[in-house]
Structure 1
Amino acid sequence: MQISNDVHNYMETLVGQALHQEEFEHYDEEQLADLACLALNQLRPVYIRYDIDFLSSLPEDRLVMLKRNADVAISTAESMILEDRRKNRHSDVPSVIRLGRFDEDRELEWYETPLLKSKDHS
Protein backbone atom coordinates (compact mmCIF):
# COMPACT_ATOMS: atom_id res chain seq x y z
CA MET A 1 0.00 0.00 0.00
CA GLN A 2 1.15 3.50 -0.82
CA ILE A 3 -0.76 6.10 1.17
CA SER A 4 -0.27 8.76 -1.49
CA ASN A 5 -2.03 6.52 -4.04
CA ASP A 6 -4.60 4.78 -1.87
CA VAL A 7 -5.71 7.49 0.56
CA HIS A 8 -6.45 11.17 -0.03
CA ASN A 9 -8.00 14.14 1.71
CA TYR A 10 -11.41 14.81 0.19
CA MET A 11 -11.19 18.45 1.25
CA GLU A 12 -8.39 18.87 -1.31
CA THR A 13 -10.89 17.83 -3.97
CA LEU A 14 -13.47 20.36 -2.79
CA VAL A 15 -10.93 23.19 -2.53
CA GLY A 16 -9.54 22.30 -5.97
CA GLN A 17 -13.01 22.33 -7.52
CA ALA A 18 -13.78 25.70 -5.95
CA LEU A 19 -10.50 27.23 -7.16
CA HIS A 20 -11.31 26.23 -10.75
CA GLN A 21 -14.26 28.65 -10.85
CA GLU A 22 -14.09 31.76 -13.01
CA GLU A 23 -13.78 34.11 -10.04
CA PHE A 24 -10.27 32.80 -9.36
CA GLU A 25 -8.94 33.03 -12.94
CA HIS A 26 -7.17 36.33 -12.28
CA TYR A 27 -4.80 34.71 -9.77
CA ASP A 28 -1.46 33.32 -10.93
CA GLU A 29 -0.27 29.80 -10.10
CA GLU A 30 1.68 30.96 -7.04
CA GLN A 31 -1.34 32.72 -5.61
CA LEU A 32 -3.61 29.73 -6.31
CA ALA A 33 -1.15 27.44 -4.52
CA ASP A 34 -1.07 29.87 -1.58
CA LEU A 35 -4.88 30.01 -1.57
CA ALA A 36 -5.11 26.22 -1.53
CA CYS A 37 -2.59 25.87 1.31
CA LEU A 38 -4.15 28.59 3.42
CA ALA A 39 -7.65 27.19 2.90
CA LEU A 40 -6.67 23.57 3.58
CA ASN A 41 -4.87 24.52 6.78
CA GLN A 42 -8.18 25.87 8.10
CA LEU A 43 -10.13 22.72 7.28
CA ARG A 44 -10.38 19.45 9.11
CA PRO A 45 -9.11 16.71 6.77
CA VAL A 46 -11.49 14.00 5.58
CA TYR A 47 -9.34 11.06 4.49
CA ILE A 48 -10.94 8.57 2.16
CA ARG A 49 -9.97 5.85 -0.29
CA TYR A 50 -12.59 6.09 -3.01
CA ASP A 51 -14.68 9.16 -3.79
CA ILE A 52 -17.61 7.12 -5.10
CA ASP A 53 -17.88 5.01 -1.93
CA PHE A 54 -17.56 8.07 0.28
CA LEU A 55 -20.14 10.10 -1.64
CA SER A 56 -22.62 7.25 -1.85
CA SER A 57 -22.76 6.95 1.94
CA LEU A 58 -22.51 10.68 2.72
CA PRO A 59 -25.75 12.47 3.61
CA GLU A 60 -26.45 15.41 1.31
CA ASP A 61 -26.57 17.93 4.16
CA ARG A 62 -23.08 16.82 5.27
CA LEU A 63 -21.74 17.31 1.72
CA VAL A 64 -23.32 20.77 1.59
CA MET A 65 -21.66 21.60 4.92
CA LEU A 66 -18.24 20.38 3.69
CA LYS A 67 -18.56 22.50 0.53
CA ARG A 68 -19.64 25.53 2.57
CA ASN A 69 -16.66 25.05 4.92
CA ALA A 70 -14.33 24.90 1.91
CA ASP A 71 -15.85 28.09 0.47
CA VAL A 72 -15.50 29.94 3.79
CA ALA A 73 -11.88 28.78 4.15
CA ILE A 74 -11.10 29.96 0.60
CA SER A 75 -12.76 33.30 1.26
CA THR A 76 -10.67 33.77 4.39
CA ALA A 77 -7.53 32.70 2.54
CA GLU A 78 -8.35 35.10 -0.29
CA SER A 79 -8.43 38.03 2.12
CA MET A 80 -4.93 37.03 3.25
CA ILE A 81 -3.72 36.89 -0.37
CA LEU A 82 -5.22 40.29 -1.20
CA GLU A 83 -3.54 41.84 1.85
CA ASP A 84 -0.26 40.05 1.19
CA ARG A 85 2.54 41.81 3.03
CA ARG A 86 5.06 40.01 0.85
CA LYS A 87 4.27 41.92 -2.37
CA ASN A 88 7.97 42.58 -2.94
CA ARG A 89 9.10 39.22 -1.65
CA HIS A 90 11.31 38.55 -4.68
CA SER A 91 13.44 41.61 -3.94
CA ASP A 92 13.88 40.82 -0.25
CA VAL A 93 16.20 38.03 0.70
CA PRO A 94 15.14 36.55 4.03
CA SER A 95 17.79 35.89 6.60
CA VAL A 96 17.52 32.79 8.71
CA ILE A 97 19.32 32.55 12.00
CA ARG A 98 19.59 29.09 13.47
CA LEU A 99 20.42 28.87 17.12
CA GLY A 100 21.95 25.78 18.61
CA ARG A 101 21.56 22.22 17.49
CA PHE A 102 18.61 19.91 17.68
CA ASP A 103 18.26 18.61 21.21
CA GLU A 104 17.09 15.00 21.18
CA ASP A 105 16.45 15.11 24.92
CA ARG A 106 14.12 18.10 24.64
CA GLU A 107 10.58 17.45 25.79
CA LEU A 108 8.05 17.04 23.00
CA GLU A 109 5.46 19.70 22.29
CA TRP A 110 1.85 18.74 23.01
CA TYR A 111 1.18 18.08 19.33
CA GLU A 112 4.28 15.89 19.01
CA THR A 113 3.39 13.56 21.84
CA PRO A 114 3.11 9.99 20.59
CA LEU A 115 -0.29 8.37 20.92
CA LEU A 116 1.20 5.15 22.22
CA LYS A 117 3.77 4.89 24.98
CA SER A 118 6.97 3.10 24.14
CA LYS A 119 7.51 -0.28 25.76
CA ASP A 120 10.48 0.87 27.84
CA HIS A 121 8.40 3.73 29.39
CA SER A 122 5.32 1.63 30.22
Structure 2
Amino acid sequence: MQISVDVHNYMETLVGHVLADDPYASNYSNEQLADIACLALSQLRPIYIRHDIDFLSALPESRLIILKNYTKTAIENAESMIQKDRRARRGDDVPVMFSHPRFDDDVELEWFEKPLIQNEK
Protein backbone atom coordinates (compact mmCIF):
# COMPACT_ATOMS: atom_id res chain seq x y z
CA MET A 1 0.00 0.00 0.00
CA GLN A 2 1.16 3.52 -0.80
CA ILE A 3 -0.78 5.94 1.33
CA SER A 4 -0.36 8.82 -1.13
CA VAL A 5 -1.88 6.67 -3.89
CA ASP A 6 -4.48 4.63 -2.02
CA VAL A 7 -5.79 7.29 0.39
CA HIS A 8 -6.52 10.96 -0.21
CA ASN A 9 -8.18 13.94 1.43
CA TYR A 10 -11.51 14.56 -0.31
CA MET A 11 -11.33 18.25 0.61
CA GLU A 12 -8.34 18.51 -1.77
CA THR A 13 -10.68 17.44 -4.57
CA LEU A 14 -13.23 20.11 -3.66
CA VAL A 15 -10.56 22.82 -3.39
CA GLY A 16 -9.10 21.73 -6.73
CA HIS A 17 -12.49 21.99 -8.44
CA VAL A 18 -13.03 25.54 -7.19
CA LEU A 19 -9.51 26.70 -8.06
CA ALA A 20 -9.82 25.26 -11.57
CA ASP A 21 -12.72 27.63 -12.30
CA ASP A 22 -12.02 30.68 -14.44
CA PRO A 23 -12.02 33.42 -11.78
CA TYR A 24 -9.10 31.77 -10.01
CA ALA A 25 -7.21 30.02 -12.81
CA SER A 26 -7.07 33.13 -14.98
CA ASN A 27 -6.25 35.67 -12.25
CA TYR A 28 -3.52 33.88 -10.29
CA SER A 29 -0.20 32.24 -11.11
CA ASN A 30 0.43 28.57 -10.32
CA GLU A 31 2.45 29.63 -7.28
CA GLN A 32 -0.42 31.76 -5.99
CA LEU A 33 -2.95 28.97 -6.65
CA ALA A 34 -0.77 26.54 -4.70
CA ASP A 35 -0.59 29.06 -1.82
CA ILE A 36 -4.37 29.52 -1.89
CA ALA A 37 -4.87 25.75 -1.87
CA CYS A 38 -2.53 25.30 1.11
CA LEU A 39 -4.14 28.11 3.08
CA ALA A 40 -7.66 26.88 2.30
CA LEU A 41 -6.90 23.26 3.17
CA SER A 42 -5.38 24.38 6.47
CA GLN A 43 -8.79 25.83 7.39
CA LEU A 44 -10.76 22.71 6.45
CA ARG A 45 -11.23 19.51 8.38
CA PRO A 46 -9.68 16.69 6.31
CA ILE A 47 -11.84 13.81 5.10
CA TYR A 48 -9.61 10.89 4.17
CA ILE A 49 -11.11 8.38 1.77
CA ARG A 50 -10.03 5.71 -0.67
CA HIS A 51 -12.57 6.04 -3.47
CA ASP A 52 -14.61 9.14 -4.26
CA ILE A 53 -17.53 7.16 -5.66
CA ASP A 54 -17.95 5.07 -2.50
CA PHE A 55 -17.78 8.15 -0.29
CA LEU A 56 -20.18 10.17 -2.44
CA SER A 57 -22.71 7.34 -2.65
CA ALA A 58 -23.02 7.35 1.16
CA LEU A 59 -22.85 11.14 1.58
CA PRO A 60 -26.20 12.95 1.75
CA GLU A 61 -26.49 15.75 -0.81
CA SER A 62 -27.20 18.28 1.94
CA ARG A 63 -23.86 17.42 3.57
CA LEU A 64 -22.03 17.72 0.23
CA ILE A 65 -23.49 21.21 -0.20
CA ILE A 66 -22.24 22.14 3.27
CA LEU A 67 -18.75 20.83 2.46
CA LYS A 68 -18.73 22.83 -0.79
CA ASN A 69 -19.78 25.98 1.08
CA TYR A 70 -17.01 25.43 3.65
CA THR A 71 -14.58 25.06 0.76
CA LYS A 72 -15.69 28.27 -0.93
CA THR A 73 -15.42 30.20 2.34
CA ALA A 74 -11.94 28.82 3.04
CA ILE A 75 -10.78 29.73 -0.47
CA GLU A 76 -12.19 33.25 -0.16
CA ASN A 77 -10.31 33.66 3.12
CA ALA A 78 -7.13 32.30 1.58
CA GLU A 79 -7.53 34.55 -1.46
CA SER A 80 -7.66 37.61 0.77
CA MET A 81 -4.39 36.53 2.39
CA ILE A 82 -2.73 36.16 -1.01
CA GLN A 83 -3.98 39.57 -2.13
CA LYS A 84 -2.47 41.08 1.02
CA ASP A 85 0.71 39.02 0.64
CA ARG A 86 3.02 39.98 3.49
CA ARG A 87 5.98 38.37 1.75
CA ALA A 88 6.23 41.45 -0.50
CA ARG A 89 7.12 43.56 2.55
CA ARG A 90 8.81 41.09 4.87
CA GLY A 91 10.77 43.74 6.77
CA ASP A 92 7.59 45.44 7.99
CA ASP A 93 6.06 42.53 9.90
CA VAL A 94 6.84 40.93 13.20
CA PRO A 95 6.18 37.18 13.18
CA VAL A 96 3.31 35.95 15.32
CA MET A 97 4.01 32.86 17.41
CA PHE A 98 1.29 30.76 19.00
CA SER A 99 2.66 28.91 21.99
CA HIS A 100 -0.55 27.14 23.00
CA PRO A 101 -2.46 25.80 20.00
CA ARG A 102 -6.06 24.98 20.82
CA PHE A 103 -7.90 22.10 19.32
CA ASP A 104 -11.57 21.53 19.91
CA ASP A 105 -11.51 17.90 21.03
CA ASP A 106 -15.10 18.08 22.26
CA VAL A 107 -16.62 18.41 18.78
CA GLU A 108 -18.71 15.39 17.89
CA LEU A 109 -17.28 13.23 15.11
CA GLU A 110 -18.96 13.12 11.71
CA TRP A 111 -20.53 9.83 10.60
CA PHE A 112 -17.54 9.06 8.37
CA GLU A 113 -15.06 9.74 11.22
CA LYS A 114 -16.56 7.34 13.74
CA PRO A 115 -14.81 3.98 14.09
CA LEU A 116 -16.68 1.09 12.52
CA ILE A 117 -15.90 -1.24 15.41
CA GLN A 118 -16.52 0.12 18.87
CA ASN A 119 -14.44 -1.14 21.79
CA GLU A 120 -16.69 -2.69 24.40
CA LYS A 121 -15.72 -1.96 27.96
Summarize deviations over 1:12-52 as a string: whole Å, max 9, x none: 00000000111111100110000000000000000000000
Structure 1 residue runs of 4+, over 3 Å off? none
Select the structure of larger CA radius of gyration.
1
Q: 1:110 to 1:43 in 2, by over 3 A?
A: closer
**Cα distance between partner residues in 2 of 1:29 and 1:44:** 24
Aligned residues: 93
TM (norm. structure 2) is 0.72
Shift of 1:87: 2.1
Matches within 5 A, 1:1-122: 1-24=1-24, 25-87=26-88
Percent identical among aligned pairs is 62
What's the RMSD between the two structures over aligned residues? 1.9
Show structure 2 runs of 5+ residues with no match. Answer: 92-100, 104-121
Give the 3-state SS of the residue equivalent to 2:87 in structure 1. Answer: coil
**Cα distance between partner residues in 2 of 1:38 and 1:87:** 17
**Cα distance between partner residues in 2 of 1:38 and 1:55:** 25
**Cα distance between partner residues in 2 of 1:88 and 1:110:** 29
